[in-house]
Amino acid sequence: MDSTIDKLLNLLERASLVTVLSGAGISAESGIPTFRGPEGLWRNYRAEDLATPEAFSRDPELVWRWYDWRRGIVAQARPNAAHVGLVALERRQRVTVITQNVDGLHALAGSRELIELHGNIWKVRCTTCAVIATNTEVPLAVIPPRCGRCGALVRPHIVWFGEAVDPYDFQRSVEMSRSADVFLVIGTSGLVQPAASLAQVAKSSGATVVEINPDSTPATSLADLVFPERATRVFEALGIAPSPPNSAS
């Protein structure tokens, strides 16, 4: 992997903008299950059965109990070498992270230019007044939780199956993909739209596309550089370490 790492380091050093698209694979290395497929079963329910507007309308308490369980798992996770490496890279140059993950680990690691395309599990949105608030209670004190402003039911501030991503967030994602010199695709299956289209947007706009994923994906054929490895291994090999607090840059 040494020669490929050298190529990536050279690309990163020359880039004016590095745009990153991250998916479940980067969080899996922090111990967070994908919550899809057999490993994502909870009380015999699949994520696809619960993460929908219809499920919430039918039984908000059930949906919130599932999210309470998920939040308990996410609360124990910590950013890994890939999350931290991206933050260290951002301290050296311009980096925008677009993530499909809702766990908040990029923000916890310190990423500042961050687009959480599918929302955040630590945020809630009122179903009546639409106010978005942060709720980090683990476990939740009241299920289902209520809006602190109007008392109405709140829902997770997450894009569910059958819902569209926020148009503003997606437009920003497209702009950052078009403007990128290097586009890193990390740990995403490349199957979930519209995020899956961003690698092609970047490629068509002249970016060098780099994929980091142990598995082959639809983005693999687009990539100029492919690392069939775990993201933590690649970032450890890159040797990008965060600067000590308060150190001179």
> Which positions are catalytic?
118
**For the residues of 112-161, what is the DSSP string, one character each?**
SSEEETTEEEEEEEETTT--EEE---SS-SSSS-B-TTT--BEEEEE--T
For tokens 């980090």, the residue is 136
Residue 70, SS3?
A: helix
CA dihedral 183, 187, 191, 194 (to 10 degrees): -50
Taking the CA of residue 145 as centre, how many other CA atoms within 13 Å lie in the half-sphere pointing to its CB?
A: 25
